[in-house]
């Protein structure tokens, strides 16, 4: 299964002109169908969508990939790639930034919805500001649902020609309709690329390779470097091979969790004018769930180009390994189904996952898996609603009940009835399941624990719920 094409209302703005250091470009990425991301909440025309901050776990994962991850009021992710410039005194640097459309304040504009944001890059060497790029971008979408997307739906990218050396780079994003903004500062080492050396291998959505070194590749980068298992079938990887003696072939290896090699292949680079730049499609089904390292080497060359990609269940699900994936699914399906996934060989995991999706999809006639969509929506909601409980919100006692069973039909909070009670109780009623779950806060600080007499009731209710799927 592959993702749907780019929405046509944005597609025309994504390809950069062939002049260096031109204005950035904004664009939206594919539909969220099948990516376990729920549609945004409804609302009156012109209403701004609520902001969903990036969870700390996702920020950690993106940073472990070597990405710039902003975790402020506007969550964003940025990648930096290095390509060869005509002169060895400079390096072509691509900064690509993405953010979810849900992070911006949209307003009704006729039959459409519009928002604006400011993207800014500043590069310093010591106290000296070397370069500042700032662009105000407009985003227009045809439906209210588009304003609520949590995926990598808006992309802005900028080519810069920089002298090799160490910089301090600050990346900032601001919503024009409010005071919401985010900024992240990182150290950036711009390499001096040898004439016959390898450049960055760039994860992309699409690319038209360049044929000469003094032009730009026309590409749309994938700033999050993230693929959704069972939804994305391939990883398009742009390999930039230009110059007097570009390699004619490269070896590409993809190494996953526990140093398991999922892909090891020799790829011929076709001649394109004066270059051998190309885009290769790496099968996601042969990659491990979690963080994968892509290694590109050329015969007779001493250097290796590396990039890291994340294969996960959804673009906002913080899964770093296959075992973490199974742990996330423990309240969604039975242990027997999880065992089938766990026991599948690496080469068979994609097939096993496809079968799992088919067997658990409550509405098989649609493009997205509504069961997983709603399940991960509850996990995200639990992480916010129960963040004051012990541990991650969805793993707390209340979070476990909410994720597994959904919202209760009624909640009775004794602390609201008698504020002087030292020990508070919440009683969650599930009428269809005919159970009451009692949660106790003995500290008064909102640390709710499931009462001992309710723990067995919850376990039985979860087994019944999972058995009915």
Running along the chain, 469 residues long, what does each successive block of 10 average in pLDDT? 33 30 32 25 30 61 92 92 93 96 94 96 97 96 90 94 97 96 96 86 95 92 88 91 87 86 91 89 86 91 89 74 85 93 81 85 80 85 81 88 95 78 88 94 82 94 85
3-class SS at 304? strand
Residue 125's pLDDT is 97
Q: What is the pLDDT of residue 55?
A: 57
Give me the pLDDT at residue 314, please.
67
The whole-angstrom separation of Cα 158 and Cα 121 is: 9
pLDDT at residue 47, as a whole number: 31
126 burial class (0-12, 13-18, 19+ CB within 10 angstroms)? exposed
How many angstroms separate the CA atoms of 64 and 305, rounded?
Answer: 17
3-class secondary structure, 170: strand
| pTM, two decimal places | 0.72
- Residues near 339 by Cβ (< 8 Å), separated by ≥ 6? none
Angstrom distance (rounded) from CA 216 to CA 252: 24
Residue ranges of domains in the chain, CATH in brackets: 8-312 (2.60.40.10), 358-467 (no CATH)
With b for 16 or more beta-carbon neighbours within 10 A and e for fewer, the 208-221 pattern comes to: ebbeebeebbebbb
């Amino acid at each position: 299964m592959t993702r749907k094409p780019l929405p046509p209302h944005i597609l025309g703005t994504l390809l950069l002109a062939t002049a260096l250091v031109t204005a950035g470009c904004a664009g939206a990425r594919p539909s969220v169908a099948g990516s376990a991301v729920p549609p945004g909440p409804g609302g009156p025309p012109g209403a701004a969508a609520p902001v969903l901050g990036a969870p700390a776990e996702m920020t950690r994962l993106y940073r472990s990939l070597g990405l710039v991850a902003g975790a402020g009021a506007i969550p964003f992710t940025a990648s930096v790639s290095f390509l060869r410039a005509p002169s060895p005194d400079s390096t072509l640097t691509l900064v690509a930034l993405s953010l979810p459309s849900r992070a911006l304040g949209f307003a009704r504009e006729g039959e459409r919805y519009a928002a604006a944001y400011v993207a800014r890059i500043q590069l310093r060497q010591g106290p000296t500001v070397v370069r500042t790029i700032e662009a105000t971008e407009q985003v227009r979408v045809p439906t209210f649902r588009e304003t609520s997307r949590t995926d990598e739906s808006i992309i802005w990218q900028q080519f810069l020609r920089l002298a090799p050396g160490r910089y301090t780079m600050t990346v900032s994003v601001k919503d024009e309709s409010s005071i919401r903004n985010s900024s992240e500062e990182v150290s950036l080492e711009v390499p001096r690329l040898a004439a016959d050396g390898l450049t960055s291998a760039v994860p992309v959505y699409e690319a038209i390779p360049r044929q000469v070194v003094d032009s730009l590749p026309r590409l749309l980068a994938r700033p999050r470097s993230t693929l959704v298992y069972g939804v994305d079938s391939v990883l398009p990887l742009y390999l930039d091979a230009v110059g007097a003696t570009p390699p004619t072939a490269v070896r590409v290896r993809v190494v996953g969790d526990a140093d398991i090699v999922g892909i090891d292949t020799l790829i011929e680079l076709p001649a394109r004018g004066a270059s051998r730049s190309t885009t290769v499609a790496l099968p996601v089904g042969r990659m491990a769930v979690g963080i994968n390292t892509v290694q590109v080497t050329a015969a007779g060359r001493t250097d290796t180009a590396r990039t890291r990609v994340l294969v996960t269940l959804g673009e906002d699900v913080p899964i770093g390994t296959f075992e973490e994936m199974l742990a996330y699914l423990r309240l969604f399906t039975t242990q027997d189904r999880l065992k089938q996934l766990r026991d599948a060989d690496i080469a068979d995991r994609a097939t096993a996952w496809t079968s799992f999706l088919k067997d658990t999809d409550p509405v098989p006639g649609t493009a997205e898996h509504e069961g997983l969509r709603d399940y991960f929506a509850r996990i995200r909601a639990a992480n916010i609603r129960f963040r004051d409980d012990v541990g991650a919100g969805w793993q707390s006692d209340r979070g476990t009940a909410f994720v597994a069973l959904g919202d209760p039909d009624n909640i009775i909070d004794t602390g609201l009835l008698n504020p002087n009670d030292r020990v508070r109780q919440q009683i969650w009623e599930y009428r269809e399941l005919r159970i009451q779950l009692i949660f106790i806060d003995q500290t008064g600080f909102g640390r709710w624990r499931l009462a001992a007499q309710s723990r067995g009731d919850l376990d039985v209710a979860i087994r019944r719920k999972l058995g009915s799927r």
